[in-house]
Structure 1
């Protein structure tokens, strides 16, 4: 009677040991992780204990060629997960991928692969054979030559011939040879394993309806993937459906189970949590949560969130670097959502409230709240653009210059992105913090203000097609032409007429020259006259950008003498 508690205790201890070893192995470099597993006294239970997602990333980190021994020790469910992840493109089976993975498993454990294909994955095996071979059954009095060229047989009854596959642009010339080599060995081993079963599979494969077979394979694959958060793309895209902060607060709360400290737990996927990095509200809130049970459930939930994002984006990832980008995306929108839900309280209170929100609301709903903040910027940009002065004048977005064009380009696409301008090595990236949202919103405010201000004027916008016109050189050129006494229009200013105007801009000597205050005032008065608004109103709407424009002119041309002006290097004015 005392044996059952003792057995349970030993089981719990063994599971904890396996969990600790998995965590240690996943923290090692790939080559050391492989050696660590192989050198285990009992490597098979350790390999079987890996969640399928972690095993998938582990063998890709190590390299498929070096992971043959691990593949031989993997469980059937781990094999099935590999096939579910690798052999599909949308709702179609990739036959070369099936060949590749079956070849790997043939090298890892040929006898087990044959058993698995003959009994565990019969539907996939028959569909794969239908697409790759023709089957003919010879009658007892039929001459084999009557069947045609290219047929081979194992028993002089069932004859097979390889089908010609259509060429693929991404394949090399050796694909067909590899396929025939594998299939010849596979069919030979299947015949040797159980000849009656071999004949059944060949006969059934010749009579399947391929569209129905592939659809059923896809349905079953989606059921298995959905259990791990990989929903079909048309369903997973719901992760991008926004939720308002007030609406989330009235939604049902999730239930967190509080297991006993020594309770047996299912293996938790560690890879997504292992690449969590950076200082953001989500990671700070996680750091304040105690309890291995709660953290384990949150890890599982976070892995499911990352999987749903991958499904929605129809993205296949195979290494930590690619996974890290998905994790950063999830963390970023989680942090934005948490900030929106905490109403910008003090940092200490915000972190505490964020931790409470993580424990009380599903992570995917907090993600949707954060993504909604980015979508709101996108919708605002689209509403403005439809009625904008820019569009009414049929001007391109490039009219707003590099920075503003970059921000608008990130907002006017299907899924909004943050214009990073290569600050972190990329021109665009996902929004990662509420600071990104506020920075983009501030720039959008300036664009809308400038567009509204220019819409109050009747300034011409027709310009020569051989010149790059942006709002800065458009505005400065129109102002300069009027100051010089030239006819209004977006035309190049003759250099001999521009030099006296250029000399009058400056005060000071040498490289310390600055634009005179009277010049700034004259420009503001000119723009005020064109818009019909008082000076202070123009300054309130666009003052910061206009001041930045004059600082840029000072920086570029302050040290330049008027005799050294070259129209090719004066982008702020259109010069002939």
Structure 2
């Protein structure tokens, strides 16, 4: 009975802390700080935060403004901060260690000493080894032989702060800060227990730095792996594509049985709170009725986001940066679910929910990412045999819109060419529609390249640098229309004006392209390439319409008298 009562009390405490934690994390940073500090038990609330949520919280508030929270933080929260902040690949950054030791000492110097003595003795000894030199004075030894750089607190241990390699303009500021941190630490440790102080100084110079750093890195990776921060060579596996058939042959993931006490264990809030309402994955998660299953999937999602952070080698310190990672994670999971469940144009939502509960989200992510890689591989394969590559033309040959799509697919990790529609030139693929649109553009480019491969043309300076697929084909057509040779030679302005007169239907500006001229263009393409006009229209009809729309937009309001070859880009003129 007593155990049942204790369990109920614990569950009620979890419920209360869970509610308060969610409320606090939904507040603006400055209000969140006040809410915690004004609560009857601020330490309990701070300790209830998962380490990653606490880390993002203090970064949102501002590190210097979060010293009170740091003083209340648990040992695990302090350790997590060091695990995230002080490592640069597999090496400890002395600069970053200095920064955070300074903050911990400011937050609570006495607690910091107790913490490092109990939990991080070798870590601090490693730091001291890198930053100080210690000499022990014999009873009959003159201390002046040590030099003016040495100081002592007990006339036995003489200490000097060593110089470090200068690598930045702020070196002097860093040295001043480091010296202040070391002075404060040494004074505090000596005042705490002078015998321990002497032992720490002695042990600091018995440490083997390379061995300690290697072991510390291993233990750090073990701790972070529990939160999804795998070592880079393992985390990068998230970008290994997975075929839908390969996924269906794998076993189901483990979902723990429902229990009331498990329901109130902390779930990473920052990651799950950034799920957008219009996200396909979010819509599917809403259909999961069991709260404990939903929470386990949310924890899994947070771990996957952390794995992607490692794979992308990004330092994430605020909500906006984390939001981009979560959006990317959800995007590829949504694409994977769409790929696994879509039959024709219908989406089986119930099957999608079942897949989320059955298979690891990382595997569904890989199914989605595989679609993008298939586009990338298709581009790379086509480029090797393409007409434009054989003619050694730059990517700029395809014009701004098409080069954007190609460029996004040709980089190491493909990106979607957004062209600032959402404020970015390139972004991650967020939906199956992004992939289908990019595939459509790629199909048009490949079809256009195939068309050009059947047109005999010799490319040469002086216009090869400014040559595009548009002005190439339009200039050849204009020369044919004017009865000039089929050689790609720039039109002089008088020749172009004759063509310009015939290009338009009669009427007020802005003018429309004469329908007969469009027919003439299609007929010329058919004759030059040997392709049936119907096939050209089927594969490139929309492309050609867009081309004539661009002509109308550029020149539909321009008078013949105002034409200047300097400003004509869709035709090669001189």
Residue matched to 1:411: 409
Answering whether residue 491 of structure 2 is matched by residue 479 of structure 1, we say: no
Superposed displacement of residue 203, structure 1: 1.5
Residue matched to 2:276: 277
Paired residues for 1:184-333 under 5 Å: 184-261=183-260, 263=262, 265-333=264-332
Q: Contact 2:328 / 2:428 at 8 angstroms: preserved in 1? A: yes
Superposed displacement of residue 406, structure 1: 0.2
Q: Distance in 2 between matches of 1:95 and 1:489?
A: 66
Residue matched to 1:144: 143
Superposed displacement of residue 278, structure 1: 4.0
Superposed displacement of residue 550, structure 1: 1.5
Q: Distance in 2 between matches of 1:397 and 1:375?
A: 20
SS at match of 1:510: coil
Residue matched to 2:111: 112
Superposed displacement of residue 452, structure 1: 1.3
Q: Distance in 2 between matches of 1:165 and 1:172?
A: 9
Superposed displacement of residue 473, structure 1: 0.7
Q: Distance in 1 between matches of 2:207 and 2:143?
A: 24
Q: Contact 2:471 / 2:571 at 8 angstroms: preserved in 1? A: yes
Superposed displacement of residue 9, structure 1: 1.1
Superposed displacement of residue 490, structure 1: 3.2
Q: Distance in 2 between matches of 1:344 and 1:87?
A: 49
SS at match of 1:514: coil
Q: Distance in 1 between matches of 2:411 and 2:526?
A: 35
Residue matched to 1:520: 518
RMSD (Å), alpha carbons: 1.6
Query: Please, which moves more after superposition, 49-58 or 192-201?
Result: 192-201
- Return closer, same or farther for 1:521/1:436 CA change in 2, 3 Å cut-off: same
Superposed displacement of residue 107, structure 1: 1.2
Q: Distance in 2 between matches of 1:80 and 1:528?
A: 70
Superposed displacement of residue 263, structure 1: 4.9
- Return closer, same or farther for 1:337/1:170 CA change in 2, 3 Å cut-off: farther
- Return closer, same or farther for 1:250/1:148 CA change in 2, 3 Å cut-off: same
Superposed displacement of residue 264, structure 1: 6.4
Query: Please, which moves more after superposition, 537-546 or 49-58?
Result: 537-546
Superposed displacement of residue 344, structure 1: 3.6
Q: Contact 1:463 / 1:491 at 8 angstroms: preserved in 2? A: no
Q: Distance in 2 between matches of 1:359 and 1:26?
A: 27
Query: Please, which moves more after superposition, 496-505 or 334-343?
Result: 496-505
Residue matched to 2:423: 425
Q: Contact 2:397 / 2:468 at 8 angstroms: preserved in 1? A: yes
Q: Distance in 2 between matches of 1:437 and 1:492?
A: 38
Residue matched to 2:8: 9
Q: Contact 2:415 / 2:426 at 8 angstroms: preserved in 1? A: yes
Superposed displacement of residue 504, structure 1: 1.6
Residue matched to 1:98: 97
Q: Distance in 1 between matches of 2:180 and 2:52?
A: 31
Answering whether residue 442 of structure 2 is matched by residue 444 of structure 1, we say: yes
CA shift digits 1:202-239 (9 cap, x unpaired): 12212322222211111111111111110111110001
Q: Distance in 2 between matches of 1:489 and 1:181?
A: 76
Q: Contact 1:136 / 1:158 at 8 angstroms: preserved in 2? A: yes
Superposed displacement of residue 465, structure 1: 4.7
Residue matched to 1:65: 64
Q: Distance in 2 between matches of 1:500 and 1:4?
A: 97
Q: Distance in 1 between matches of 2:441 and 2:209?
A: 54
Residue matched to 1:128: 127
Q: Contact 2:510 / 2:552 at 8 angstroms: preserved in 1? A: no
SS at match of 1:109: helix
Residue matched to 1:530: 528
- Return closer, same or farther for 1:398/1:512 CA change in 2, 3 Å cut-off: closer
Residue matched to 1:389: 387
CA shift digits 1:231-283 (9 cap, x unpaired): 11111000111101111111111121232335565322111001111412211
Q: Contact 1:463 / 1:469 at 8 angstroms: preserved in 2? A: no
Q: Contact 1:284 / 1:351 at 8 angstroms: preserved in 2? A: no
Q: Distance in 1 between matches of 2:354 and 2:345?
A: 15
Q: Distance in 2 between matches of 1:74 and 1:377?
A: 47
Residue matched to 1:376: 374
Q: Contact 1:272 / 1:323 at 8 angstroms: preserved in 2? A: yes
Residue matched to 1:542: 540
Q: Distance in 2 between matches of 1:476 and 1:465?
A: 14
SS at match of 2:172: coil
Q: Distance in 2 between matches of 1:467 and 1:235?
A: 44
Q: Distance in 1 between matches of 2:245 and 2:263?
A: 38
Q: Contact 1:382 / 1:412 at 8 angstroms: preserved in 2? A: yes
Answering whether residue 89 of structure 2 is matched by residue 78 of structure 1, we say: no
Q: Contact 1:87 / 1:97 at 8 angstroms: preserved in 2? A: yes
Q: Distance in 1 between matches of 2:58 and 2:556?
A: 60
Residue matched to 1:51: 50
- Return closer, same or farther for 1:466/1:397 CA change in 2, 3 Å cut-off: closer
Superposed displacement of residue 346, structure 1: 6.2
Q: Contact 1:123 / 1:217 at 8 angstroms: preserved in 2? A: no
How many residue pairs end up in the alignment?
574
SS at match of 2:490: coil
Q: Contact 1:419 / 1:428 at 8 angstroms: preserved in 2? A: yes
Query: Please, which moves more after superposition, 84-93 or 421-430?
Result: 84-93
CA shift digits 1:505-524 (9 cap, x unpaired): 22222215332233222222
Q: Distance in 1 between matches of 2:371 and 2:53?
A: 32
- Return closer, same or farther for 1:345/1:482 CA change in 2, 3 Å cut-off: closer
Superposed displacement of residue 331, structure 1: 0.7
- Return closer, same or farther for 1:465/1:151 CA change in 2, 3 Å cut-off: farther
TM-score by length of 1: 0.96
Superposed displacement of residue 466, structure 1: 7.9
Q: Distance in 1 between matches of 2:180 and 2:557?
A: 74
Superposed displacement of residue 194, structure 1: 2.0
- Gapped runs of 5+ residues in structure 1? none
CA shift digits 1:74-127 (9 cap, x unpaired): 010000001111111111111111111111111111111011122310121011
Superposed displacement of residue 136, structure 1: 1.4
